[in-house]
Structure 1
Amino acid sequence: MQSTLRCLLHLRSPSLRRNLLSYAQIVRAPIHGLSSPRVSFSPSTVLHRRIGSFLEPDEEEEETKRKGIVSAYYDPVQGRVVTSEQRMDQVFGSSIHPLENFRREVGEEEESGRSIWVRSKQKGKEENVETPKFSSSYARRKGKSGKIKVLYGCDNCGIELSQWWGVCPKCGVGSVVERGPDMSDVNPKRGAEVSEAAVRSWLPHKAGSAVPKTLAEVNMGIAQTEWRIPLSGLFGMEVSRVLGGGIVPGSLVLVGGDPGVGKSTLLLQISANVAEELDSDKAAPVVYVSGEESIEQIANRADRMCITTDNLYLYSSTDIEDIFDKIQPLRPRALIIDSIQTVYLREVTGSAGNVSQVRECTSALLRFAKDTNIPVFLIGHVTKSGDIAGPRVLEHIVDVVLYMEGERYSSYRLLRSVKNRFGSTDELGVFEMSGMGLQAVANPSEMFLTDSNTESDILTGLAVGVMVDGSRAFAIEVQALCVAGKSNARHVNGIQESRADLIISVLQKQAGLKLQDNAIFLNVVSGIKLSETSGDLAVAAAICSSFLELPLPNDLAFIGEIGLGGELRVVPRMDKQVMAVAQLGYKRCVVPKSAEKLLAALDTDMIILGCKNLKDMIYSVFNQNMEI
């Protein structure tokens, strides 16, 4: 051992010296093959040693041929000493071949973690030698600690982690759960390779035919009005408004929303609308694929909605490759996938809904849409925070992202576009859920209003304002109730609490209303959320009406923002808001003084009342000079 360590001190490579010293301390046996005090290692040099050899040389040779030996050699690529068990009389004769003659291949048993195989190439012959668990290949799979790596992930945002955290360090909402072993070394296929292998069989091969073209060549012979797939009827017009004028061929559309809001109903009606083409020459099948329902359940829902088209095909499957194989003979005009969290690719590690599965399935569907020019609609689940479940890259891959919104106890549904590569994101579709499915609302401006009697005491504390959402303007009703007493509690529904506190404080300070000893209740009718400042003036008017116990005329509307000094400020797109309330039959509208001349020039029969501040508004509306 002393002579061995003395030789090791002359080794030039620090990493090699460290590995050999550590190995010598463990084995405590002589090392054979060191003939000189200075050893120079090259990729073809193999350091061979016997473990636990206490036999005479002749006996040792016979024992070696009969039982085999455990050998160690230095791998310059890895910078470490690795071991293997060999039968000298069966495999290598009486010598060890250079390292370059070895080629590692993954065998069937490596998947189960029992062993791997080393294949030797010597004089045109190949023989398999079993390498035990302590080999370098097996150690590399298990990591430095010798344990199989385990992946963890957040059930909310989908982030992948290498260790358990309890609560997700990224979103702080979801809990970290175990997803299984890390198979990155066993299955190296990832990303585009998996998608390419999965969809190569069904995609049309255009290799060599596609060349860069000028913009004029691309637009030649294409009429933009006829290029999109039209949707008929009031329902189709409302959906086309959100999509930017119709369905773009080859587009990938993602629809998200809370459970039960009507995503499946919406896409079933869209598929029926596309299949019921008025022009029989353009009629083509549409395939609706569901991974959550059977075809009988989908047919039952279609029967309730009176969908009877013959070009609508139903299929229930969760395998992407199987779906592509089945729809290829049909050449559909559109494809619906319900939902992206239920489908999977066979060659991607993880179950359906996994972050990798969602990403790769979406990539495969994107390539399908672009290469076949068939539009694909996807339904996406949402998390409890309202975001679409899965990786954020999902929303970057698709062309259009639509969100469907609706209150739990309201029949109205809003379809808005948050991403649209082919149109505006300011559009908003308004629908009403009925027994026949989703019906387009003819006049959405008045859907949040209630019927009321003219000049009645019921109108006390009730004011009408206007809210703009996208390109639509909606008239809203704000209710206020002021109750005198010792409590100054404030209860708000449909209005931001911080905004309500600001308006009440400005009324106390700048308008002189003594609201400090009143409990104030505020509510927006129909459960809509007032998220912009154009409704500030309507909230202030409702509070004044309830506090002064004076009703407001039902032909009067309020539009404007309130500043901290009590002044009235102009809000964007006031002309659109004034036109919206004018179409509903309102005769007068209170607006900021600075916008009076501009709005008076509009072609309406309304009387525009310009006010500078809150006091001016109170005196003009209630038409009284009183001490407040």
Structure 2
Amino acid sequence: MQEQPPYSPSSSDEDKSKGKGRAEGKKSVKEKGAGRSVGGKDETRWSLVAAVRKAGGKLGKERVTYVCSNCGEGSSQWWGMCRHCEAMGTLMKYVPGADSTASEGSHHAYRSWIPQKSKEMVPQSLQQVTKGVDQSGWRIPLSGSFGTEIARVLGGGIVPGSLILVGGDPGVGKSSLMLQLASIVSENIGVGESSAVVYVSGEESIEQIGNRADRMSIKSRNLYLYSSTDIEDILDKIQPLSPRALIIDSIQTVYLRAFAGSAGNMTQVKECTSALLRFAKLTNIPVFLIGHVTKTGDIAGPRLLEHIVDVVLYMEGERCLSHRLLRSVKNRFGSTDELGVFEMSGYGLQAVLNPTEMFLTEHDSDSEILAGLAVAVVLDGSRTFAIEVQALCVSGSPRSGEVVGIPKNRADVIISVLMKQAGLKLQDNAVFLNVVSGFMLTETAGDLAIAASICSR
């Protein structure tokens, strides 16, 4: 008779016992969790986990900004009309970080064409930086009367490695100014050996630029022309030349491949400017950027653009008049009070040696002709200008007069003072004021001339 094996539970019994144990374990975990659900540590831990999941998942809400393509002003919500420049239908959706996230993998690749320093940069003392450096001859000088006017506005010359933004109304002469400047820098008078200067246009072909240069009698052998809108292609092509300066016409027409969007949008303008800034600092090559302006006179693109660059120049002038004014509204290397005066001719821009002649008109000594005229002497930078102010009073006119070249609120104050203190009966008169040659008389030193011109009528 065979012996019976010791009793062992069947596999089904084992499964039942294991399932019962798991159920009891889950119950105990739930009971323990319910008992400590108000605990600070667990609550903080699970809230952090939820926050991380929300930030990384689809539930995270995008931070959307609407940016005006006309003036660069931002808004948290969409408007049919920009509240800053009052342009219609110009607010575009912009998600901060969206472009950088999409191009994160190519972030290093798009910067690979920028030359790198051969040695690691470390903090240096002031004595190490300035040792053996002639600060008086550090800037690139600009020769001739034309170059002297530009050097005056820049603070004495072009600083190597600077990024300079030049803005102005369409047709005011920005491209002509930069083409003539490129010719002067390439000739390199008083600096030593000549060096190349590259003028890059994204708006014109090299034949069109060459035609304009021929009309302006520019014959420099070291001036190179190139037409492209790809920043990487531009910097790849100019590196073998080792140019003394680079001019981009214009910043709104160039783009970087690694970033989404067409040339001229907010992201492209900002990233292209940042890339050119880094290129200028690493190579000590000054870079000039021509920028378009909006209806309000601001440079088109994000407001950050003017903070990135080192110098911001504005070119002013009326199309119907021949004179042009070059102002510096930002200059990290010099004063912003200087003014350059030029005259547009068939051969380009010519420096005006005596600007006062432009702001005064010739008159005979007849008192009838001189009535309503007064001359104001104002200081602009380190130069004094004699500015002619013209006034006309029309009695019985139901409408208010027009003011050109003088701030309207200041003109109203002067007229009110004359009515109150001088007893002039101007209530029923329309007063028209004008400054000769389109000069903007913002200095209060011209108030007396304004009052005198009104009184003489």
TM interval, short-chain normalised: 0.7 to 0.9
Structure 2 vs 1, CA of residues 221 and 140 (structure 1 numbering), >3 Å: closer, same or farther? same
Q: Give the Cα separation in 2 of the matches to 1:418 and 1:499.
A: 22
Q: Does 1:175 align with 2:89?
A: yes
Letter in 1 for 2:283: T
Tell me what 1:238 maps to. 149
Match of residue 338 from structure 2: 427
> Retained in 1: the 8 A contact 2:374–2:449?
yes
> How many Å apart are 1:391 and its aligned residue?
1.4
Length-normalised TM-score, structure 1: 0.61
Residue 179 of structure 1 deviates from its aligned partner by 5.5
Shift of 1:486: 7.2
Structure 1: give runs of 5+ residues left out of the alignment: 1-31, 43-74, 83-135, 547-628
> How many Å separate the matches in 1 of 2:208 and 2:342?
24
User: 2:125 is aligned with what amino acid?
Assistant: T
Within-5 A mapping of 1:156-195: 156-158=70-72, 164-168=78-82, 173=87, 175-178=89-92, 184=98, 187-189=101-103
What secondary structure is seen at the aligned counterpart in 2 of 1:246? coil
Question: C-alpha distance in 1, partners of 2:123/2:291?
Answer: 34
Q: Which residue of 1 aligns with 2:36?
A: none
Alignment of 1:39-438 (within 5 A): 39=26, 140=57, 153-158=67-72, 164-168=78-82, 173=87, 175-178=89-92, 184=98, 187-189=101-103, 196-208=108-120, 210-278=121-189, 281-438=192-349
Contact 1:152 1:176 in 2 (8 A): no
Deviation at 1:166, TM superposition (A): 2.5
**CA deviation profile, 1:231-281 (whole Å, cap 9, x unmatched):** 111000000001111111111111111111111111111111101123584
Give 1:399 deviation, angstroms.
Answer: 0.9
Secondary structure at the aligned position of 2:252 is classed as: coil
Q: 1:36 aligns with which of 23, 26, 29?
A: 23
Percent identity, please. Answer: 63
Q: 1:461 pairs with 349, 372, 388, which one?
A: 372
1:200 aligned counterpart, secondary structure? coil
Structure 2: segments with no counterpart, 5+ residues: 1-18, 30-45
Give distance in 2, aligned partners of 1:181 and 1:392. 17
Q: Which residue of 1 aligns with 2:35?
A: none
Q: What secondary structure sits across from 1:508 in the alignment? A: helix
Q: Taking structure 2 as the reference length, what is the TM-score of the superposition?
A: 0.82
Q: Render the CA deviation track for 1:12-36: whole Å, top value 9, x for unaligned.
A: xxxxxxxxxxxxxxxxxxxx9x952
CA contact under 8 A between 1:488 and 1:516: conserved in structure 2? no
Alignment check: 8 A CA contact 1:412 1:433 kept: yes
Shift of 1:529: 2.4
Measure the CA separation in 2 of the matches of 1:162 and 1:520.
43
Distance 1:310 1:172, change over 3 A: same
CA shift in 2, pair 1:436/1:465, >3 Å: same
Give 1:194 shift.
Answer: 6.4
Letter in 2 for 1:357: Q
More helix by share: 2
> SS of 2:359's equivalent?
coil
* Letter of the structure 2 residue corresponding to residue 200 of structure 1: S
Task: Give the match for residue 447 of structure 1.
Answer: 358
Following TM superposition, by how much is the alpha carbon of 1:461 offset from its aligned partner in structure 2, in angstroms?
Answer: 1.8
Q: Distance in 2 between matches of 1:414 and 1:287?
A: 25
Task: Tell me if structure 1 keeps the 8 A contact 2:69–2:301.
Answer: no
1:509 maps to 2:428: no
What is the CA-CA distance between 1:150 and the residue it aligns to? 8.6
Shift of 1:78: 6.5
CA contact (8 A) 1:156 1:174 kept: no
Match of 2:8 in 1: none
In structure 2, what is the equivalent of residue 474 of structure 1? 385
Greater alpha carbon shift after TM alignment, 525-534 vs 336-345: 525-534
Residue identity matched to 1:381: H
Alpha-carbon separation, structure 2, partners of 1:181 and 1:219: 44
- Tell me if structure 1 keeps the 8 A contact 2:377–2:384: yes
Could you say which residue in structure 1 is the equivalent of 2:13? none
CA displacement, residues 72-97 of structure 1 (integer Å, 9 cap, x when unaligned): xxx999759x9xxxxxxxxxxxxxxx
Aligned twin of 1:536: 447
Partners in 2 of 1:411 and 1:365 — Cα distance?
Answer: 33
Deviation at 1:538, TM superposition (A): 1.1
Q: CA distance change for structure 1 residues 164 and 517 in 2, over 3 Å: closer, same or farther?
A: closer
- Give the secondary structure class of the aligned counterpart of 2:253: coil
Aligned length, in residue pairs: 422
* Residue 408 (structure 2) aligned to one of 474, 497, 510: 497
| Alignment correspondent of 2:12 | none
Aligned-residue offset at 1:527? 2.4
Q: Measure how far apart 1:344 and its partner are.
A: 1.0
Report the 3-state secondary structure (helix = DSSP H, G, I; strand = E; otherwise coil) of the residue aligned with 2:422.
coil
Q: Distance in 1 between matches of 2:438 and 2:100?
A: 54
Shift of 1:471: 2.9
Distance in structure 1 (CA, Å) of the matches to 2:100 and 2:390: 64
1:261-303 CA distance string (max 9 Å, x none): 1111111111111011235842011111111111111111111
Using the TM superposition, give the Cα deviation of residue 466 of structure 1 relative to its aligned residue in structure 2, in angstroms. Answer: 1.9
Structure-1 separation of matches of 2:413 and 2:286 = 48
Q: Report the residue type matching 2:68 in the other structure.
A: C
CA distance, structure 1, for counterparts of residue 421 and residue 64 of structure 2? 63
* Higher gyration radius (CA): 1
Deviation at 1:469, TM superposition (A): 2.7
Task: Quote the offset at 1:327 in angstroms.
Answer: 0.6
The residue number in structure 1 matching 2:32 is none
1:215-234 Cα offsets, whole Å, 9 max, x none, are: 22222222122211111110
* Distance of aligned partners of 1:164 and 1:542 in 2 relative to their CA distance in 1, 3 Å threshold: closer
For the Cα contact (< 8 Å) 2:69–2:265, is it kept in 1? no
Q: Relative contact order (alpha carbons < 8 A, sep ≥ 6): 1 or 2 greater?
A: 2
CA RMSD between the two structures: 3.4
The equivalent of 1:119 in structure 2 is none
SS at 1:474 equivalent:
strand
Equivalent pair of 2:117/2:282 in contact (CA under 8 Å): no
Q: Are the equivalent residues in 2 in contact too, given 1:244–1:422 (CA < 8 A)?
A: yes
Q: 1:351 to 1:160 in 2, by over 3 A?
A: farther
